[in-house]
Amino acid sequence: MNSSRKVVRAQDVMTDEFAIIDGLITVKEALQIFKERGAKVLIIDKRHEDDEYGLLLLSDIAKNVVAKDRSPERVNVYEVMAKPLISVDPQMDIRYCARLFESFGLAHAPVIEADKVLGVVNYHNIVLKGLLEN
């Protein structure tokens, strides 16, 4: 093992291209938020302390709304989101983050510390920020 390798952590490559939304809004409203905020991921907020965060990607909308010919005005986010989600610790080494993604078929994961979403990590940033900036 190369002990001189600098450890790149999830917090070093995470992005702030996300927004936290309420699961009761419609998919049409969620699409507006994606567009207005330049978000790549929408995190669905917890409804109470025993709840879990959810995750909405454009691919979820494509698979569960567009492909099924459902109306974005009549479908709520909670109907098509992924929940519970797999999150990563800000201190996680990106090598393990990439392995976690592979193991669970993920492309994005929120970076959460002390029950607060700090950012989102994805393959794109793991590779481009994690490898190129070393």
pLDDT score at 130: 79
Q: State the residue for tokens 């193991």.
A: 103
pLDDT score at 99: 96
Strands (E), the chain: 18-21, 41-44, 54-56, 108-113, 116-122
Residue-wise over 109-130: b if at least 16 C-beta within 10 A, else e? Answer: bbbbeeeebbbbbbeebbeebb
SS3 of 121, please? strand
Spans of the chain, pLDDT less than 50: none
Residue type, position 81, single letter: M
Domains and CATH numbers, the chain: 10-132 (3.10.580.10)
Q: State the residue for tokens 């991921």.
A: 41
pLDDT score at 128: 87
pLDDT score at 134: 53
Q: CA 13, CA 126: separation in Å to the nearest integer?
A: 6
Give the residue from 96, 90, 92 showing the smallest Cα distance to 117. Answer: 90
pLDDT score at 2: 53
